[in-house]
Structure 1
Amino acid sequence: MSLFEQHPLRQTLNDEVHARPPVPLDTPEYVTYLAFLHHEGSAERETAHLAALCGQLELPAPRTDSGHLLLDAGDFRLKWERHNEFSSYTFFRRIHPGDGAEDNALLSVPTAWRRDIPGQLIAATHIEVRSTDDVDPDSLLNQASPRGETLVAARVAECAGWVFTDFHIHDGFSRFVLLDDGLTPRQAGRMVQRLVEIETYRVMALLAFPVAKEVGRLLSHAEDELADLMDGMGDARSAEDDHAVLGRLTRLAADIERSVARTTFRFGAAAAYYRLVQQRVDDLRETRLGGFPTIREFMERRLAPAIATCATIARRQEDLSGRIARNSQLLRTRVDIELERQNQELLAQMNRRAKIQLHLQETVEGLSVVAITYYASQLVNYVAKGAKGYIAPATPEVITALSIPVIAGLVFMGLRRMRKLLSEENGGAR
């Protein structure tokens, strides 16, 4: 291999598909799963918090660069994983003879340490992995039936296991029972991992549901206001009315675009988490038990409508944004046409003023010819008087009188030539 130039990410990319494997489980076992949303920099504090646990247990300092970690403390094992929006802590503890019904995997974990785990708790699950030799599946089914509880139960892994849950929170935890009826340790680990992922991704997907209800109220108000604005646009009779409607429409567009920017990620994440839930449910390979809903049926009945609502609200929001944009463009076109009409009227007024000024200029030019002719003839008169001895028998008065039409003609021709030259220059500039 030293003969080849290898891509720097080759090993990293290959290791990624092997990262975060499920932890093999030997029945019986307690599993407790905690998921914490990243909040106010909590993700950055996790490494130090894990290092503190290793210090208490006299274990080597953890390496968290890969985003996952498996610690074996003897009495319990801890699997830590960091995801985009949350981090998960899965604790494993063997079930010993004499353990009570309320025991769980957290009993051996230092209380102060788990109390200070950074972040906001979003999912907490207890899973009890037992063998069918120790717990009869029919006993669990019979316990739920007389009380009328909504029990979700199914055979999984091609009937190699049983899963029981009600998806309710009891004392802060949801609870699953996984019965081993021929599962290998790795199969049991995979089943547990799928169950906790279903629980976590279900809750993460539902984070968008309150947002959808809030956005739905905003959209209802915005749609009513848009209808009123369109009525106002149809009733507008002046440019001022159009400008007022355009101002309100622009503000409404800003409100909707702000909502789109604030909720796009949440709605997109909800769809992605829901697809993960569906994939994990598929991986369970459930077989239905008569009279009891499966996990798939529970998700389709309870989770799917909420996700469909989020998707509908997201589409409705995008559609409203597009409608507002189209109506804004239509109104801007009306305003632009009105402005063009006003500009044409203004240009026509300017054209009329220019014509009037041209007539005045021509009148002034006529007066200028008279004034220039008058002053020039006076100069001729002075010259003639000074040279009257040389111009006899002509008199200065006769010379002055004869010069007046000549001067007037020259001045008129000169002004006309100048105006012609200026007109040619303006035409060349255009």
Structure 2
Amino acid sequence: MRLLPADLPERAALSLEVHARPSEPLAAPGRASYAAVLVDADERERELAHLARLCRTHGQAPPAADAVHWSGLIGGLRLKWERHGEFSSYTLLMAARATAPFVDSAAANLPPGWLAGVPGMTVYAGHAELLQAEDAPALPDLQQQFFAGNAVVGSAVGDGAGLAYSDFLIHPDGFGRMLLVDQGLTPLMAGRMLQRLFEIEAYRMMALLAFPVARRLSPRILAIERALAGLTDDIARDGGRDEKLLHELTRLAAEVESGLSASQFRFGACRAYAELVRTRIGELRERRLSGLQTIDEFMGRRFTPAVATCATVSQRMHDLSERVAQASHLLSTRVDIAREHQNHALLASMDRRAKMQLRLQQTVEGLSIAAIVYYMAGVVGYVAKGGRSLGAPLDVDLFVGLSVPVLALLAFNAVRKARRRARENEAV
């Protein structure tokens, strides 16, 4: 008998999510290569087909159409593919051979041209060497042998279970270089540590995609701020150019919103990736090595200021949008008040004209009563003359004279009734 209610449809998938994308183990001595490739949405199918061809060539089942990660053996390599939000990563692991460091790399053991044929653009690529503690040279020799004499950043990681070194530079082959020395790492710990080191660089590069955007926007923001300051001064002076000022503010608002819509996704991604970098650095559990900067310190000096610049530019854009909106609202309110005064004056003028028209209408009505009486008296005169011609003893002039007051009263009553009916129709 079932002891629980029905499962949430997503329960199984959500439960497995925390176990997805496990790290691949690597024992010392070993080598690894990593590539993060920025892939557009319309290239996702090509990417999957490219990986599927490699799998079939080496007798491996290809990833499913909706897969977001896959791992398997490709010859003597273990290949791990992961699809992230904007980029895909390829991790290659192999046992080390008796060759010079970074010469016989894991990536070099892929079929010729396969990695170069991956759809998209490279964001980060790196090689890593995993050495046993007794095989690691002293720091001066390590710099020459592994990093071409460049300045090295390093620390004890995993609470001292390993030593991690890098110069964080792109070498002539297009790859960065990392060295991990095993001082007690298990193969799974070593695999996780290498993945963290690679991801620090991949996420750092993805975060820094916002930095050129911030640089391009900075002069534009400065120009808009100056223009807004000038418009605000004009608003304060009340020079009678409100309509023109409102047009200029509308143009500035459109320009600010255009900049926001074009940059905010990138700035939001910068914040998210920067947080991932900080998280991965924290997971290294670093301890200082004498004479070397830790990875955390290096990122704090070189990476954090760039992220802060992007955050500042993003905030300036939002603040500028609010300031333009406030200035537009202020000016719109003043324009509306001015228009209300104009409308009030127009209505007063229309009221005066209506009163004048009413007086004129009343005058015309009086004249119309006189005209009606005049024409009606004429009709009465013709009737009286007709009656006298028939032999009636009528004094025509007297009869017409006596009819004039009656006709005037009848005409006045008729006009008054017509005016009353007109008022009643207006009220309806």
For residues 53-72 of structure 1, the aligned pairs below 5 Å read 53-72=54-73
Q: Report what 2:166 is aligned to.
A: 165
CA RMSD of aligned residues (A): 2.0
For residues 418-429 of structure 1, the aligned pairs below 5 Å read 418-426=418-426, 428-429=427-428
Cα drift, residue 221 of structure 1 = 0.3
Q: Report what 1:104 is aligned to.
A: 105
CA distance in 2, matches of 1:400, 1:152: 127
What's the secondary structure of 2:37's corresponding residue?
strand
Q: Which string of whole-angstrom CA distances, capped at 9 and with x for unpartnered residues, describes residues 288-323 of structure 1?
A: 012110000001111111111111111111011000
Counting matched residue pairs gives 424
Residues 143 and 149 in structure 2, CA contact (< 8 A), matched pair in contact too: no
Change (3 A) 1:268 1:395: same
State yes or no: 1:44 paired with 2:45: yes
Q: Report what 2:354 is aligned to.
A: 354
Between 229-238 and 161-170, the greater mean CA deviation after superposition:
229-238
What's the secondary structure of 1:6's corresponding residue?
coil
Q: Report what 2:294 is aligned to.
A: 294
Change (3 A) 1:391 1:45: farther
Residues 206 and 273 in structure 2, CA contact (< 8 A), matched pair in contact too: yes
Cα drift, residue 362 of structure 1 = 1.1
Q: Which string of whole-angstrom CA distances, capped at 9 and with x for unpartnered residues, describes residues 220-279 of structure 1?
A: 0000011111222234433xx211111111011000011111111111111111111111
CA distance in 2, matches of 1:226, 1:45: 48
Q: Which string of whole-angstrom CA distances, capped at 9 and with x for unpartnered residues, describes residues 64-110 of structure 1?
A: 52300002123111100001100011111211234555221012101
State yes or no: 1:17 paired with 2:22: no
Q: Which string of whole-angstrom CA distances, capped at 9 and with x for unpartnered residues, describes residues 171-207 of structure 1?
A: 2111100000100111001101100110001111111
Letter in 1 for 2:206: M
TM-score by length of 1: 0.94
What's the secondary structure of 1:368's corresponding residue?
helix
Cα drift, residue 217 of structure 1 = 1.1
Q: Any stretches of 5+ residues in structure 1 without a counterpart?
A: none
CA distance in 1, matches of 2:366, 2:143: 120
CA distance in 2, matches of 1:110, 1:258: 46
Q: Any stretches of 5+ residues in structure 2 without a counterpart?
A: none
Over 6 Å off, 4+ runs = none
Residues 128 and 180 in structure 2, CA contact (< 8 A), matched pair in contact too: yes
Letter in 2 for 1:120: M
What's the secondary structure of 2:97's corresponding residue?
coil
For residues 221-300 of structure 1, the aligned pairs below 5 Å read 221-238=223-240, 241-300=241-300
Residues 39 and 120 in structure 1, CA contact (< 8 A), matched pair in contact too: no
Cα drift, residue 141 of structure 1 = 5.8
Q: Report what 1:383 is aligned to.
A: 383
Residues 253 and 324 in structure 2, CA contact (< 8 A), matched pair in contact too: yes
Q: Report what 2:343 is aligned to.
A: 343
TM-score by length of 2: 0.94
Q: Report what 1:206 is aligned to.
A: 208
What's the secondary structure of 2:303's corresponding residue?
helix
What's the secondary structure of 1:60's corresponding residue?
coil
What's the secondary structure of 1:5's corresponding residue?
coil
CA distance in 2, matches of 1:278, 1:409: 102
CA distance in 1, matches of 2:143, 2:116: 37
Residues 384 and 394 in structure 2, CA contact (< 8 A), matched pair in contact too: no
Change (3 A) 1:261 1:350: same
Cα drift, residue 133 of structure 1 = 2.0
What's the secondary structure of 2:129's corresponding residue?
strand
Change (3 A) 1:334 1:413: same
Residues 128 and 178 in structure 1, CA contact (< 8 A), matched pair in contact too: yes
Q: Report what 2:363 is aligned to.
A: 363
CA distance in 2, matches of 1:293, 1:343: 72
